[in-house]
Structures are given as C-alpha cells and as structure tokens.
Amino acid sequence: MAVGREEVEIVKPRSDKREYRRVVLQNSLEVLLISDPDTDKCAASMDVGVGSFSDPEGLDGLAHFLEHMLFYASEKYPVEDGYSKFITEHGGTMNAFTASKHTNYYFDVNVDSFEEALDRFAQFFIKPLMSPDATMREIKAVHSENQKNLLVDYWRTDQLQRHLSEESHPYHKFSTGNWDTLEIGPRAKGLDIRNELIQFYKENYSANLMHLVVYSKENLDEIYSLVKDKFQEILNTDKSRSHFPGQPCSTEHLQILVKAVPIKQGHKLSVIWPVTPEIQHYKEGPCRYLGHLIGHQGEGSLFYVLKTLGWATSLFAGEWESCWEFAFFTVEIDLTDAGHEHVQDIVGLLFKYIILLQQSGVCKWIFDELSALCETKFHYQDKIPPIHYVVRVASNMEIYPQEDWIVGSSLPCEFNPGTIQMVLDKLSPDNVRIFWESKSFEGLTDMMEPWYGTAYSMNRISTSTIQEWMSSSPDENLHLPVPNIFIPTDLSLNISEEKTNLPILLRKSSYSTLWFKPDTAFSTPKAYIKIDFSCPHASNSSEAVMLTDLFTRLLMDYLNEFAYDARVAGLYYSVHDTNTGFQVTVVGYSHKLRILLEKVIEKIATFEVRPERFVVIKEVVTKDYQNLKFEQPYEQAKSYCSLILQDNTWPWTEQLEALPSIRGEDLTKFLPLMLSRTFLEFYIAGNIERGEAESIVQHIENILFHGPQPICQPLYPSQHLTNRVVKLGTGSSHFYCTEGPNPSDENSALVHYIQVHQDDIVMNVKLQLFALIAKQAAFHQLRSVEQLGYITRLMHRNDFGIHGLQFIIQSAVKGPGNIDLRVEEFLKMFESKLSQMTNEDFKSNVNALINMKLEKHKNLREECAFYWREISDGTLKFDRRVTEVAALRQLTQQELLDFFNEYVKVGAARKKTLSIRVYGSLHASEYTTDKNQPAQPSSVQIEDIFSFRRSQPLYGSFKGAYGRVKL
C-alpha cells in the first residue's frame, strides 16, 4: 500500500460538492479525508476491524466492554471523562458501537474545536489508561446496558437465533456481556479482567486494521497534515485480519420450526435462509432484487394476499445479518390472531411466491427499474449530518473497493440473472429456519435460551411437510408487480423569485392558513407538504382519541396498495393522530407529489369503514396499547410527566379500556362529526412555486368545504384548540409515585423535571447554556461515578413553549426516591463548580452554543421540522436562532449564576419541580415506604393526576390568539 497521498476516483452523487482524498499513513492506517467548506460541524469516525466475533472463549462481551473503556482517559489526557466533557462543551456528540466484525468510534464538534477534539480522539488508539477503578465501574455500566435489553423482544429473538447455531462458530456468542461474563466468570477462573482487556487491546487494535474518516471545513492538504500529526503514533503490529470460515448453521440448524414466547403481545413469523452474502456480488444486487419482489406490497404481492385474507399487518424481506463469509435472507411477517391460526398456509403461500419467481425467471425490466430508482435516490440523496456520514463511510471502507466507499451497495447496476438465480435457489424448503413468536406458546415450551431466558421449543420440518403446506394453502392470484407509475421523470428545479429565507404567511381564511417557504438552500427537486387538521371533536374524550387513532390507521391501510409504489419511488407519506386532530405529511420528489397528496385527500373525503379491515386494525391498536406496559420504565416516566403537565391529554389505560366496546359502526358515525368542524394549517416548502402551493390549498378546500354536500365547516371562534401546560407552583416540589406496570421488570426510573419559564429569548439561552454546561457533568457523576444506571440524561425540555430541565435516569441499583436525592446532591455539588468556572470556560461554552445555533439545516426535512415546530407551538419565531445568538453574545457570567440561583439550585426561591418515580420490582418495598412517608414542607405528593391537573393554573397558549397573525 502506498504511503502518503494517493489519488483515487471515488464515485459520489452528482450534487455532492465535497472533495475526497484517500491516504495511507506510514503505520498503514488507511484514511479518507473529506473537505466540506460549507460545513458547520467537523466529524471523525474510526472503524476498527475487530468486533464481538473476536471475544476470547469464556469472555463474552469483551470487545463491547473495551469500546466502553476507551472513552475514559488516556496518558496524554488523564482526567477521567475529559474527552466526553470537551466534546459536549464544544457543541458536539460522541458514541460508539460494537458489531460482529468491527467496532466504530465517532464524534462531531464545532469547527473551531476540531483539532483538540481529534487529538483527544486519537489517544483512544495510542495510549488509553484503562484504570482499575474505571474498569470495575464500567463493567457495571455494561451490565446495566444488558439489563435494559433483557425484556426487549428484538434482543431476545436475535440471541435465540444465535443460540440455535453452531457452538463453534462466533455467531453463536453472546456479544453484549454482563456481570457474569466480565467479572464473576473470569474471577472464578483466576483471570484479571483488566489484564485481559489490555491484552485484547494490544493484540487487536493495530493501525493496519483501522479505517479513519475525517470530515472538516479545511482543504484536503490541511486535513492531511492534521491527520498525519495526530494518528501516525498508532501502533501497527501487522495483525492479520480475522476471518471466520464455515457457516453458522449446519444441517441440524436447518429445517427447524422454533416456537418462542415473546414479552409483548402479538405474533411474529420469521422465515430465514442462509445465503451467499450480497457483499460478494454487491453490484448485481441479488438480495436487493429478491427483497424488492418478496417484500412488495402492491396488488398481486405476497403481502397483498396475506392482508386481503386478514392474516398479516406488515412484511419485510431482505438480507439481515451479514458479513463477508455468511448472510441470512429473512422474511419477517407480523401476524394477526387469524394469521397465527394459519401459519402453515402463510409459509405455503411464501414458498408459492418463491416458485413463481423461479418460474418467471429473473426479469430484466424489474432489475432496470430498481437500478434506476436506486440511481435517482443516490444522486439526489439528502445531505446528512457529518457525524452520520463519517460512520457510514468508515464502515464501508473495510468492505468495498475505494471507488465505492461512498456508494456501498446502494447502486446495483450490473444485470446478472445467474447471480440472482443462485441466491433464489437458496430460498428452498431444505435450507430454511422458521421462528414463530407468540404469547400463546406460554407453558407449551420445553427449552430456554440461557442469556435472556426466552422460552422456546423446536421441531424438525421436512421438505415434504412444506410441500404439503403449499398444496393446502389458498389458491390466490400471486403475480409480479406492474411498472411503477410514480418514478419521477422531471427532476428540474424551480427557480424561486422569493427573496425570503423564512416562511411567510401566504394565505389565510376561516378555513385554513398557508405557510410557504421555497427552497433557497438545498437545490434538490424535492418538496414537503404538511397539513394539520384541527378537529375539536377528535380529542374531547378517550373514546374520541381512540376513534381518531383507528381512523388514521385505517386510512394508511387503505392507501397502501396505491401508495406503496410511491414510497418505493421516493415519495413518502404519513397520516397520524395528534392532540388536536390529525396530520397528513407528504414529502419527496416534487414531480408527482401532488398526485399522491390528492389521493390521500380523496380517501379522507370518501372514507368508508370496511368491516374486515376495521377488525384487523382494531386488533393491532389493542395490542399496541396492551404492550405499552412493557415499555422501558424511563419511557413510562416521561409519559406520566407529559400526562401531568399537558392539558387535554388522556391516559393510555383509559384508552385501552375504551377500545373493546368500539365497533365499526361507531367510527362510521364518528367520522362525519369529527370532520364537521375543521381548521387546516398548511406548511408547503421546497421545490414548489407560490402559485402551485396556493392551488393545492384551494383544491383541498374545494373538496372538503365547498362541495355540493360539504364535509367540513369552519370552526367557531370558540372552537380553536390550544395546547396548554400546567403552571407549577413557585417554590414547591411535586412528586408522583407509581409502580411499574410490568412486574417482570426490575428497573426503576426517575424523571426529575424543573419547570422554568414560558418562551422568552433571553431566558431560553440561559437555560440552554446551563444545560450544555451541566449535561456531561451530570452524566459523569450519576452514571460513570455513582453507577446509577446506563440510561442517565440531563436535557432541555420544551412543552408547547414552556421550557425546563429534566433529569432522566433508569436504574436497577437504586429506587427512584434515592435517585431523586442523588440528583439534588449533584445540583449542590455542581453549584460550586458553576461559581468557580473561569471566564475563559464561560466564553468557550457560550461560543459553543452560538456555533450550534448557527449550524445550517442539512436537508429539507430538517429545515421543515424546525419551522413546523414554531407553527405548531404557535411561537412563530422563525428567526429564533439569530435572535438567541444575539442574546447569547450579550449574556454575562453573573447573569447565568443569577439564573441558576433563582430557578435551578436546591432551595431556589422560584424553583418549581416535578418528580415522576416509577418503581420496578426490585424496589417494590420502597414504593410503599416513599408513598406513605409524610411530605416535607413545600413538597406536594400527587395522588391523583387529574384532580391535580384540574386544580392547577395553566400557562396561556401561544396558539390561543387566533387571528393575531397578519398577512
């Protein structure tokens, strides 16, 4: 491999103005330099070619544990957690992940801090400390991470599939690690885990196994100089790249039917075949081609048939787990209760479709259409944040030749029917593994997966058995898809004459408002349309909320056959319920966007309840609500916090209670009532002209408001809905205790919320600056030092323009009452740190926040999300970032201290807190104690959420002043 500069032609999107250069340092570290003069953030990703497959025997999770440990400290930067603190305080984020064959470390940071951040990052791979004290604490963090996953079906299913494979193959391993594998087991064998960790690092972290991507504002020569200076000291031991020959599944692991008991309600079927990895033929795209057809949802597809029969609610098909040596092709189907009773028929239909593909032969026109879609998607892809980009490219560098580091496998361009046929031949009855999950198998299994405790049973299935299933399955009209009418052919850009860089109110009537913003930043042939339907009757009771939810899901269901091709062609749509009605969003290539939007509106206007689909969707909704009790405890605590704070919201338990009695006829009666009074708020942006935007609004108003029998009428002035938030009492602390709804979950959770103010530019920046300064300190103290739990966060919270702070902690170590005390102790400790902060540190944090606010939106979706938040909350401060930067430049250190002393510190005169405590099974006794202990002075226990909410004053809503916005 050449050392220094080596120019390589790297394929990139036509619209990509960035410059790329591949270099190899003297230590054989291969690097891709990316220069982007327009970037507001710099980023880097180091991909190390060793992962959990390389864990030594009996030390499961060691590679993952090492990934955790490298964040702590290095010889050059020995202050523990100094790297994370530096990155956070300079506007950045950082993380890492361990995969089967590689481990990826990455960060981003504000431009002016990149050199030091890169130097700190490089020390991970030069001389990390891995102190004994940190080693023991981080084992607990790895264990806490694993505990978080124990009751998550994704992790359980994945490990079960690994468990039922060759024990001698690394795919069989437990990759996460826990206290048993990293402390108890090694100690019993007389091993020092820290020595094992250091040995693993020395043996595997060699420069020749690493790939680095560095993304910066500087030119390529300057980036190269920086990289050479920071990374050439990484040791190269010429370690050979690990290979894992052989297949994870021998004959004993094929032709099996595994029945497993999940945590959540529902039935899932996974049909899996070991296949030749697509990476070996990525330009021919065999798995992409087959996944496109088997996973298709248009008329004649497998999913269309299963849905028509009422047996399935979703279907995915494609390559799943894969590396160079092996891969699996998976068809995953979510089943209805009726589908669960017809699994043999479903498997039979799947194999019938595969036989149809065999008989039809590999179709060139389908490959060409798919190739054209992929090419358009690649060349007109949205720019994404640098941190995500560097991870994607670094992960590609080990796998693909240099010219395809950016492309990866996203551009199948070589039609080779033989390769596709080779993979298709693998999808046979004698090569299959079937995993069937259902609560109905509870008590009927005879085996248990050791790491997650998943109960399962296993039976052999022969080829003749599957042939019998095929013979007995329904005789349905399965056929290949027809050509896609939604493929865009006009990708030209509208040259906008609008001079504004902010949304403008283009149109206003008693029926609607139209906010409009042409594309002045991205130069892509894409548009974005969001319509908020504000319907007072949609949210005035739990029953109404459930009926609205059922309506939006049925609408999505009805649209699927028509709009699936649109989705494949890069047009995306969604319909979902909100606190005040429902929203329709359509985004993608502007050429045929209006066709899709008009179809959605037509479906709303002509909506009829189809009894057979109503039954299926109601079943899906029921299971979704039943499964809310299995959510992570910290998510439940966040939900309770929103329920207490936000007026006009309903508990999911009430909604679930209302569901059984709701019938199709109820929805038929409800829909005209819900739509009878409606106000529409439009946001139209992107590659679309002003006149076209107005035409779209007029067309929709004509359908809904001006037909022979109008579906909708304008709202009365009294009906305009607002989002209002409870105003907590000054100087008081409130707490709400509840037991976690899942008795199997040991984890407890706390949300400690400090309510501060209603949207105000100066107050906003004080709060945001404090959150930036305190975020990493809170994480380090509460998670790294005190080891309360893997989920530990401090973040800014915004409820419809009401701002505050919230600590979020999930723990199996301490109960929520104790964690609450630890949060207060942290604030006491941080008080002195804040008061002792140097002026230089203060200015550094202010500049970091300014840089974050001045960061440009990366793509149209990101920009629209920002402006829609202003419209949705009613704050309408479209120039918010500019005005907040101006306020930050004026802010003094004393003003920040005064803010902390007045609103945040323990005992502050104007402090308002709300603690939500969810008690897991390990802390059930503490729940009784904490709930029954006498409340402290100025402390209020919330016994009943709705009595409390009704008794409290509310902040005025920014949405309340209907009509105040002037054209």
Residues in CB range of 544: below 8 A, 6 or more apart: 537, 538, 670, 674
Q: DSSP states of 931-949 as a string? A: HHSPPPTTEEE-S-HHHHH
| Chain centre to alpha carbon of residue 443 | 34
Compute the distance between CA of residue 942 and CA of residue 935 in angstroms, rounded to an integer.
Answer: 11
Q: DSSP states of 538-596 as a string? A: GSSSHHHHHHHHHHHHHHHHHHHHHHHHHHHTTEEEEEEEETTEEEEEEEEEGGGHHHH
Q: DSSP states of 669-717 as a string? A: HHHHHHHHB-EEEEEEEES--HHHHHHHHHHHHHHHHSSSS-S-BPPPG
Q: Exactly one of 67, 196, 863, 870 is catalytic; which is it?
A: 67
DSSP-assigned beta bridge partners for residue 678: none
Q: Name the token pair of 827.
A: 């604030």
Compute the distance between CA of residue 204 and CA of residue 242 in angstroms, rounded to an integer.
Answer: 9
Residues in CB range of 857: below 8 A, 6 or more apart: 521, 863, 866
SS3 call for 218: coil
Residues 582 and 534 sit within 8 Å (Cβ to Cβ)? no
Q: Name the token pair of 152.
A: 């998550």
Residues 528 and 867 sit within 8 Å (Cβ to Cβ)? no
To the nearest 10 degrees (0 to 180), the angle between helices 839-853 and 880-890 is: 170
Compute the distance between CA of residue 807 and CA of residue 820 in angstroms, rounded to an integer.
Answer: 9
Q: Name the token pair of 410.
A: 């996203």
DSSP-assigned beta bridge partners for residue 561: none
Instruction: Give which of 538, 506, 511, 536 is closest to 705, Cα–Cα.
Output: 511
Q: Is 138 a catalytic residue?
A: yes
- Whether the CA torsion 539, 541, 544, 549 is positive or negative: it is positive
Compute the distance between CA of residue 861 and CA of residue 872 in angstroms, rounded to an integer.
Answer: 16
Roughly how many angstroms between the first and final C-alpha of the chain, as a whole number? 64
DSSP-assigned beta bridge partners for residue 508: 513
Triad 501, 507, 511: Cα angle to 5°: 140
| Chain centre to alpha carbon of residue 851 | 25
Compute the distance between CA of residue 902 and CA of residue 200 in angstroms, rounded to an integer.
Answer: 50
Instruction: Give which of 89, 170, 187 is closest to 135, Cα–Cα.
Output: 187
Residues 22 and 402 sit within 8 Å (Cβ to Cβ)? yes
Compute the distance between CA of residue 911 and CA of residue 907 in angstroms, rounded to an integer.
Answer: 7
SS3 call for 165: coil
SS3 call for 921: helix
Q: Exactly one of 80, 138, 369, 926 is catalytic; which is it?
A: 138
SS3 call for 909: coil
Amino acid at 580: T
Compute the distance between CA of residue 669 and CA of residue 676 in angstroms, rounded to an integer.
Answer: 12
Please report the beta strands in 89-147, taking only residues with DSSP state E, as ranges in sequence order. 93-98, 103-110
Compute the distance between CA of residue 76 and CA of residue 127 in angstroms, rounded to an integer.
Answer: 8
Q: Which residue has the tokens 């104790």?
A: 818
Exposure pattern of 391-408 as b/e (b: 16+ CB <10 Å)? bebbbbbbbbeeebbbbb
Q: Name the token pair of 691.
A: 């006149």
Q: Which residues are catalytic?
A: 67, 138
